[in-house]
Amino acid sequence: MKKIGFLTSGGDCQSLNATMRGVAKTLYQAYSKDVEIYGILEGYKGLIYGNYRKMKPEDFSGILTEGGTIIGTSRQPFKKMREPDENGLDKVKAMKDNYKKWGLDCLVILGGNGTHKTANLLSEEGCNVVTLPKTIDNDIWGTDITFGFQSAVNIATNAIDCIHTTAASHGRVFIVEVMGHKVGWLTLHAGIAGGADIILIPEIPYDIDSVVKALDKRAKQGKRFSILAVAEGAISKEDAALSKKELKAKRKANIYPSISYQIGEEINKKTGQEVRITVPGHTQRGGEPCPYDRVISSRLGAAAARLIIDEKYGYMVGLKNGETIPVPLSEVAGKLKMVEPDSSIIKEAKGLGICFGD
């Protein structure tokens, strides 16, 4: 009997269930009744404190289109994994002990960057681990795309689309703030897809005067409105030049709820134009996965099951040039996949007239 533990960790996304279904269906096909799946509840928390439920094949039916995660998730920061909990419990030891106690052959871990660091740690500590790249941010190293990203692009694009008509009616400047943590993939894609005039991403620090210049140019061309897609992690040139410590202190004294409000106020002061801000927030992680995500989730899940069947552990399944590939966990952990300011997508967007504030 093969015993496989499933665990979803970190922020959720639309295609977690579709991915688990892909792994489960392939395992059930291969082993029939000779496989038992343990649904470890609420991410690493369940592995630390011994909370799980035994899954049945029926649990994986009807979930292809269901957002969220049927086994729950939580954020357990990697940097705190080596610290004992409030009762002095050694978390890493507890995870290893439960892995052994339950007699697991492998852990299937679905998560983003932080999750991958802990997955690598567990692998180094002797657990068999296979991981899958989950995040709307698309910032996991070793894969061209993460599942959840495209669904979030659709939602963020829809937000920009909806803003377009009202922006045109009122002749205002609108800012749509897009998630993405420290990277600009989501903002870049939604910005291009939604026809944003200005796109600000963390990888290209902006100069507010360049933004104002682009707005003035549009006004002179007779355009009544402008739309900015601003990444939640967007940063000014001035702030990007600060040391980590200086930036932290500056942010602590910051009065704005998020970067868009600061940019909005600066635009209003410098141009006199009326500015409105929209923050779609967690709606970007909600709802059902788009068909593209359902396809890659099913494929990545099936490929992860294949690794388990072949007893090939210590890998994340990624997608490169349309093919699923195993990527060593040690290579994935601790790296971030960022937008390259010199990449063709940026050059093409600039060619279209989109301003990046640089």
| Enzyme catalytic residues | 137
Which residue number, 112 or 301, has a Cβ lying nearer to ligand F6P? Answer: 112
Closest by Cα among 292, 282, 302 to 15: 292
Q: Which stretch binds ligand F6P (CB under 6 A): 118-126, 133-141, 163-171, 336-344?
A: 133-141
Q: Where are the alpha helices (DSSP H) in the chain?
A: 16-31, 44-49, 91-101, 113-124, 149-170, 185-193, 208-220, 237-240, 244-252, 259-271, 291-309, 329-332, 344-351
Which residue number, 234 or 267, has a Cβ lying nearer to ligand F6P? Answer: 234
Q: Does 177 bind ligand F6P (CB under 6 A)?
A: no
Q: Does 317 bind ligand F6P (CB under 6 A)?
A: no
CA angle 203, 232, 350 (to 5 degrees): 45
As measured in angstroms, the least distance from the Cβ of 148 to ligand F6P is: 8
As measured in angstroms, the least distance from the Cβ of 336 to ligand F6P is: 12
Residue 272 one-letter amino acid:
G
Q: Does 180 bind ligand F6P (CB under 6 A)?
A: yes
Compute the distance between CA of residue 204 and CA of residue 323 in angstroms, rounded to an integer: 30
Those residues whose C-beta lies under 8 Å from the C-beta of residue 102, and which sit 6 or more positions away, are 3, 5, 38, 52
Site string for ligand F6P, 274-313 (x = CB under 6 A): -----------x----------------------------
The residue count for binding ligand F6P (CB under 6 A) is: 11
- Burial annotation 302-313 (CB, 10 A radius, 16+ → b, else e): bbbbbbbeeeeb
Residue of minimal CB distance from ligand F6P? 179
Q: Does 122 bind ligand F6P (CB under 6 A)?
A: no
As measured in angstroms, the least distance from the Cβ of 178 to ligand F6P is: 9
Which residue number, 25 or 189, has a Cβ lying nearer to ligand F6P? Answer: 189
Q: Does 137 bind ligand F6P (CB under 6 A)?
A: yes
Which residue number, 18 or 136, has a Cβ lying nearer to ligand F6P? Answer: 136
Q: Which of residues 222-261 bind ligand F6P (CB under 6 A)?
A: 232
Give the residue carrying structure tokens 């049945």.
56
The single residue among 136, 156, 235, 296 that binds ligand F6P, judged by CB under 6 A, is 136
Q: Where are the alpha helices (DSSP H) in 79-134?
A: 91-101, 113-124
Those residues whose C-beta lies under 8 Å from the C-beta of residue 44, and which sit 6 or more positions away, are 7, 9, 74, 76, 81, 91, 95, 115, 118
Q: List residues binding ligand F6P (CB under 6 A).
A: 11, 75, 112, 135-137, 179-181, 232, 285
